[in-house]
Structure 1
């Protein structure tokens, strides 16, 4: 039996606004070392890593003296680029993934398609405009940047919930579970009737 090549990526993004470096292993053990200077974002990314069975190292420094926007968006860019790089030509992957994840009273659904086309449908309204010291609408910016750079069709729906932390965490857990399904190796063929993704 031939050993499968590890699917990994190394990404560096240095701009006038942020300095971000990431290492991603798709077939990981759910462990992470994340430091974005935004503890709530660190916590959310750790949820995705754990439930996606990824291995993620990500460090970010940004212009937080202005606000968190550039840091959150650029973390989405880097995570998206890492997913795309690690997937390579996408031959043999399941391509589609979907998951529901509850956290107490909250329930989220995420559906992904590594279609080669960037598209985000985001139906999430958190119970608070600020959660974990971060503006809640920045979570959409994260997923938009990730979708754009991973060339990923992504549907994110928060179905119910009362507590904003629970709501956000259920979204990131569902995203991890959906990713795990979509990147699973199930064969050798490219999962497209077009012959390209």
Structure 2
């Protein structure tokens, strides 16, 4: 089983997170940020990841620290659960429709973390959620997971649909990229011999 647990405590957040890459898409999420709870539940379900998250953060200030630090903690858990990445597909790319929104997600579990953003979210808020925090979450996750992550908005006008499409697309792409290729299950998917 490819699993990991992370505890991350700062002056701003106290996070406990567990992840199973070979799960069934079950989640229990209490981030203190309602919209993020919804997005992480979708990520878990569409990624086939079992995910448990609790976060006590300084949301009286705003949601920034909680959202960013959960992205970092999830990235750390993802990297730990993958281990040496032996046998994984490594790459995945897909287009995911969410009503009028169409999102491209492409990832490479390269060991070189980076987020390359192409989302054009038309509103500053979704309910009380600051849409700038989508970038902060994705960047923290990608850097700490050690993966190259591209998200592109092909079309879309509803902010909720765009962001939801991005999280679902990420889940689906992660599911494909971490899957074991039975033809190469004992090999590192790189000519360098390591990722």
Distance 1:82 1:100 in 2: 26
Distance 1:139 1:19 in 2: 20
Match of 1:151 in 2: 146
Q: Is the 8 A contact 1:120 1:154 kept in 2?
A: yes
Distance 2:6 2:94 in 1: 27
Post-superposition Cα deviations, 1:42-68, rounded to whole Å, max 9, x if no partner, equal: 101111110100000001110111111
1:142 deviates by: 0.3
Matched, 1:45 2:45: no
Match of 1:58 in 2: 53
Match of 1:28 in 2: 23
1:119 deviates by: 1.4
TM (norm. structure 2) is 0.97
The SS at the match of 2:116 is strand
Match of 1:189 in 2: 187
Match of 1:86 among 63, 81, 86: 81
1:80 deviates by: 0.2
The SS at the match of 1:165 is helix
Distance 2:56 2:154 in 1: 33
Q: Is the 8 A contact 1:99 1:175 kept in 2?
A: no
1:132 deviates by: 3.1
1:184 deviates by: 0.2
Structure 1 segments unaligned to the other structure (5+ residues):
1-5
The SS at the match of 1:171 is helix
Distance 2:9 2:156 in 1: 37
Match of 1:117 in 2: 112
Matched, 1:105 2:100: yes
Distance 1:117 1:107 in 2: 27
1:196 deviates by: 1.1
Cα RMSD between the aligned structures? Answer: 0.7
Post-superposition Cα deviations, 1:21-52, rounded to whole Å, max 9, x if no partner, equal: 00100010011000111110010111111010
Match of 2:171 among 172, 176, 179: 176
